[in-house]
Amino acid sequence: MSTYALTNANTGEVEKTFDSLKSSDIPGIIDAAHEAYLSWKTNSVEERAKILSAASKGFDARKDELAEIIGREMGKPREEALAEIQLVVDIFNWYATEGPAHLEDSPLNAEGAPVNFVRHDPLGILLGVMPWNFPYYQLARFAAPNLLVGNTILMKQASICPVSSAAFEEVLLDAGLTKGAYQNLYLNTEDVKQIMEDFRVKGASVTGSERAGVAVAELAAQNLKKSVMELGGNDPAIVLSDVDNVGKVAETLAGLRFSNAGQVCTSPKRIIVVEDIYDEFVEAAKTAVENFVVGDADDPKTQMGPLSSESARDDAVERIEQAVKDGATLHVGGKKLDRPGWFMSPALLTDVDFDDDLSCNELFGPALVVYKVKDEAAAIKFANASEYGLQASVWTADMDHGLEVADQIEAGMVLVNEHVVTQADLPFGGINKSGYGRELTQWGLLEFTNEKLIRGTKLS
């Protein structure tokens, strides 16, 4: 049984609870989604794009209210919350303006008939299972492309984000979306199975833990349905010895790691530094971590807010403590803060063995872990020594060489002199245990379509 509640991450107080959906209500909800699909798909792509454009404007108009909601729900500082909502605005706008061209029929130069093309048809109802760390963005990158295609959506948002998930649906309905085409569900986890077994539900997308992804992917496979999975990462950031300003790179990577209190799937979780500059890097990183300002989400001075929940904070602290027991050096931070809410101090760790827990498994919290390697070749080898493969980065003064190094890294996204980058006009996704499939841009647009061949010739 899932418990839906707004528990203020800044105070630890439960402000409001919500009843979860009864299993007996699910057939009616699927009926409504299917009826909406039969109507929504008959609109032209241009008509659907107009609704997405109106939604983009709606999110922008409500940005202050929406930012305040997630500041309470999961502790996102206001500046970061507003940036997330701007990304949602950009995503809906991108699909409204750029998306229709990618859904035009694709002609084929095939022999034997005068007419050959592929039409990108919708499939039907889709299920989204989304996490709490980006309460609006995660919904947008699944909803926007699939609504443009003509699919309809049942959305299970994380149980700690019931207010933001309801607000997201409100914006879409206010924009003129067909009723039932997007439904926010306070769904119990055990009832995902019932939804996936209905023939009218054609696929599922999960952003979240490996465990959640495996569970839904298994249900999709059992019912022969398409799935897309984004399941986190243990992302490497390689810092080469030729960087112009070691201190600046250290400060930048610390800020990126502590963004959203370290609760970002693409966060640089393994900072791999060549030994020539390692000591200088660690010293600069320590200064940056010590100076990082932790505070309430609505305080304009705050650089890092609370973690999303008590269990999230406690798990991060416990894993840092265990790493120290296993031989790691904790330079600063990594402790619970003596104040209401789910706060901890950001941590800097070194001397973590390449085979230890933090090296092999994602830590969803504010811990900057720095590794020393002999040279570039060793850095690439360690970067690839992971069962994940989401985002990675290379930091160097020589961008051309950085691109050569990037080409040797096994991940879905590799950046040079950037990290934690996501944009409406860039595809998003990983490989290995980070999942499969792509979101955003045209790659995300076509994931849940029927690529239908249409071919015609005259009777002889």
Q: Which residues contact 90 (CB under 8 A, 6 or more apart)?
A: 56, 423, 424
Enter the CATH code of domain 235-387+391-416: 3.40.309.10
Question: Residue 337 in contact with residue 111, Cβ under 8 Å?
Answer: no
CA distances from 236 to 71, 133, 148, 372, 422 (A): 29, 20, 34, 13, 16
Domain ranges of the chain: 4-232+432-456, 235-387+391-416
DSSP state, 307?
-
233: tokens are 């990462």
DSSP state, 6?
E
In angstroms, the CA 229 to CA 242 distance is 37
Mean pLDDT score, 310-319: 97
pLDDT at 460: 78
- Other CB atoms within 10 A of residue 442 CB: 15
CA-based max dimension of the chain: 84
386: tokens are 């992971």
Q: What is the pLDDT of residues 283-301, one digit of tens each?
A: 999 999 999 999 999 999 9
In angstroms, the CA 202 to CA 64 distance is 35
324: tokens are 């120290």
pLDDT at 434: 97
In angstroms, the CA 88 to CA 443 distance is 17
Question: Residue 209 in contact with residue 187, Cβ under 8 Å?
Answer: no
pLDDT at 20: 96
Enter the CATH code of domain 4-232+432-456: 3.40.605.10
Question: Residue 256 in contact with residue 417, Cβ under 8 Å?
Answer: no
Alpha-carbon Rg for the chain, nearest whole angstrom, is 23
Q: Which of 207, 321, 353 is nearest to 266 (CA)?
A: 207
Q: Which of 352, 435, 353, 339 is nearest to 390 (CA)?
A: 435
- Other CB atoms within 10 A of residue 320 CB: 24
Q: What is the pLDDT of residues 99-158, one digit of tens each?
A: 999 999 999 999 999 999 999 999 999 999 999 999 999 999 999 999 999 999 999 999
In angstroms, the CA 206 to CA 217 distance is 9
pLDDT at 385: 96
- Catalytic residue numbers, as ranges: 230
pLDDT at 173: 98
Residue written as tokens 């029927």?
450
In angstroms, the CA 72 to CA 11 distance is 9
In angstroms, the CA 360 to CA 166 distance is 36
Predicted model pTM: 0.96
